[in-house]
Amino acid sequence: MILRAAMKNNTFKEVFGAVRYDMAPTNKQSNTRAFSTGNEMLKNSKFKYEYATGGKIGWTNDAGYTMVNTATKDNMDLIGVVLGCDSSDARYEDMQKLFNYGFNNFKTVTLSKELGIGESEIKEGKKVIGNATFYLANDLNVLLPMAQSEDTIAIHIEYRKIDEGENIEGYAVISVDGKDVGEIKLEKEMTLHDLSFSATKLPMIVNIINLISVGILGLFVILKFLVFIRRNTKLPD
């Protein structure tokens, strides 16, 4: 979990996968110093793994030879951890077996970010004061067994209150074969209604004035018509 979060940082990702680093001269050291990784899966060695993207090796009396490594193939990112190996060679062999099993038995299915869009009202008490649009910032990659059909994947949106008020957050919940397997918090964009006097009361007042004006104008036309009829109608002798 720690490495998964760390790999989201581009600087860490670059350092983690570096094979060699040349340190420029400093005020204490006039020569350029070269540092190289101890991870044989990244170097040109018998354990080089073409899909490896980074790694860290270790050893202690209790844990034995250990290793944490990352690898990427066909848009699938894997993290492998081995502990308790009896030798340095054994940890590389075990790590390659883990990665090969993952790449050979699982696949990545990409779900469009357009599937994770939802809308909800924003309320203040019982009054609707705006709307919130929830959306995925990026497409989602879902890991499935190789034999699993893509048609078994579904996304539905859930809205959850985040306090005692009306504030809510949206989540895209991913399910496979009807079972929830993961979720991701959605981005939120809010649009608040203009509840000022000029936006709410003034248009109503203007409409009322317009209706009254139309009524007065209509009454004036009717009166003019009646006067016209009266003037042009001959009374019997």
- d(CA 178, CA 19) in angstroms, rounded, equals 44
Position 40 scores a pLDDT of 94
Q: Are the CB atoms for 81 and 71 separated by under 8 Å?
A: no
How far apart, in Å, do the first and last CA atoms of the chain sit? Answer: 110
Burial of residue 102 (number of CB atoms within 10 Å: 0-12, 13-18, 19+)? middle
What amino acid occupies position 132?
A: A
Q: Is 140 helix (H, G, I), strand (E, B) or coil?
A: strand
- d(CA 182, CA 153) in angstroms, rounded, equals 11
The residue with tokens 């109503």 is 204
- d(CA 106, CA 79) in angstroms, rounded, equals 14
CA 64 to chain centre: 39
Position 34 scores a pLDDT of 92
What pLDDT tens digit does each residue of the chain (237 aa) get? Answer: 789 899 989 999 999 999 998 999 999 889 999 989 999 999 999 999 999 999 999 999 999 999 999 999 988 999 999 999 999 999 999 999 999 999 999 998 888 878 767 777 666 667 666 777 888 888 888 888 998 898 888 888 888 876 655 577 888 898 988 899 888 888 877 666 555 545 455 567 767 777 787 778 777 777 776 776 766 665 555
The residue with tokens 């309320």 is 123
